[in-house]
């Protein structure tokens, strides 16, 4: 289970995000009153899917010893008609035949973040005093 902490002080809206071994800054763009010091929360969500897709496809191609040189993933997140729409475009570069390409695209849909976002999500919130 991932354990992530976020902390914000008085800065608008610079937030420190930490895991047990890494840290990053999240922020809002200047247009939203932030300082644009890091990814926005929406960008972080899209980044999770892009990174997980790249890693999952790379792991599979490496295991199969396929000639996959590069993977480019473009993710956008937007609100459309009362729901969230996530669009993901995947570009695979290498010496791949049609069957390999189709298999890698199917594997992309099996990445853990894709699975999380494709299933019902329950968020439990409580106050720590």
Residue 41 DSSP SS3: helix
pLDDT of residue 2: 79
pTM of the model: 0.91
57 with 68: CB under 8 angstroms? yes
pLDDT over 90, % of the chain = 94
pLDDT of residue 33: 94
**Which residues of the chain fall short of a pLDDT of 70?**
none
pLDDT of residue 129: 85
Q: Which CATH class is domain 41-118?
A: alpha beta
DSSP for residue 42: H
pLDDT of residue 38: 95
Q: What is the DSSP string of 48-115?
A: HHHHHHHHHHHHHHHHHT-EEEEEEEEEEEEEETTEEEEEEEEEEEEE--HHHHHHHHHHHTTSHHHH
pLDDT of residue 1: 73
């Amino acid at each position: 289970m991932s354990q992530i902490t976020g902390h914000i002080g008085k800065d608008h809206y610079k937030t420190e995000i930490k895991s047990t071994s890494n840290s990053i800054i999240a922020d809002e763009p200047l247009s939203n009153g932030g300082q644009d010091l890091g990814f926005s929360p929406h960008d972080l969500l899209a980044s999770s899917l892009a990174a997980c897709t790249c890693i999952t496809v790379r792991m599979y191609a490496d295991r199969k010893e396929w000639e996959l040189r590069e993977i480019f993933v473009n993710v956008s997140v937007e609100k459309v008609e009362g729901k969230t729409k996530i669009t993901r475009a995947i570009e695979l570069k290498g010496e791949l035949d049609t069957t390999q390409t189709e298999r890698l695209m199917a594997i992309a849909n099996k990445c853990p973040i894709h699975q999380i976002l494709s299933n019902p999500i329950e968020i439990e919130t409580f106050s720590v005093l």
